[in-house]
Amino acid sequence: MDFKGPARLRRGVFHPLTIIDDHSRYAVGLYACRNQQSRTVRERLTAVFRRYGLPAKMLADNGPPWGSGDERGAWSGLEIWLLKLGVMMIHGRPRHPQTQGKDERFHRTLGAELLRRADLRDTDHAQHELDRWRRVYNLERPHESIGLRPPVTRYRPSERSFPERLPEWEPCPGDAAVRVNEGGRIRHKGRCWYLGQAWDQEIVGLRASADLIQVRFGPYLIGQIDPRQRGARVQLVPLGRSAPSLHEPDAA
């Protein structure tokens, strides 16, 4: 998923949010958004997940709202929300848009066939035109990389349904439960470490491992603490920060 943007309206601009299936190129979401905020993305993803089910992973770049843009690997609120749903966020290499090559190619097609041609009055009109174009793209338009067939011939919705109530996560047995507070800080045995603003009010588990303390969210390792160091920051272990090579662009 990514934003292609911004696109022109008669007055102002909008931000096209694109969400495509890696295997089939099927566009599960194409939205005319007024902004690029995390809340807006969550609302659109919720609609997609309700209709098509939950994916195993989602690929995006490193900038907001998908990632924090922090080279130290700080988590974003959107990543944590997806993790609670059992969806792993994976990120392309920094300054390497080729990793999201399929979405970049989709953007080029969208721009050539619609955005540079249509006279879009406002966001409602833009959404109507995006919906119309998306139907043609998914159901009729032949795609070279899948044998000149439309994406619908290869797409299958996920069998994992979207839960209307966000699952509650608890530390694994044996982990010491600690609530993150004070704007993203962990207090343990009289010391304090900074985990990240996005984790504020979440409950994490602490587990001793050799000379380190693991910071875990449910079964996932998200950081490590070295009590011997003076630094007051958790060494983060961002899940999926580098996408595997299978997401490199193909001949399409």
SS3 assignment for 3-33:
ECCCEECCCCEEEEEEEECCCCCCEEEEEEE
Global confidence as pTM: 0.87
C-alpha span between 186 and 83 (Å, rounded): 20
The 10s digit of each residue's pLDDT in 200-238 is 999 999 999 888 999 999 999 999 998 887 768 899 886
Other Cβ atoms closer than 10 A to 192 = 10
Contact 206, 176 (CB under 8 A): yes
Largest CA distance in the chain: 63
Neighbours of 114 (CB within 10 A): 21
Question: Helix, strand, coil proportions of the chain in percent (round to 5)?
Answer: 30, 25, 45
* 80 C-beta neighbours (distance < 10 Å), count: 17
Which residue in this structure is represented by tokens 């996560």? 169
Q: Say which residues have a Cβ less than 8 Å from residue 168's Cβ, sequence separation at least 6.
A: none
pLDDT tens track for 166-178:
988 889 999 999 9
pLDDT one-digit tens code per residue, 120-162: 999 999 999 999 999 999 999 998 888 889 999 999 999 999 9
Give the single-character DSSP code of 199.
G
For the chain, list the domains and their CATH numbers.
2-162 (3.30.420.10), 176-236 (no CATH)
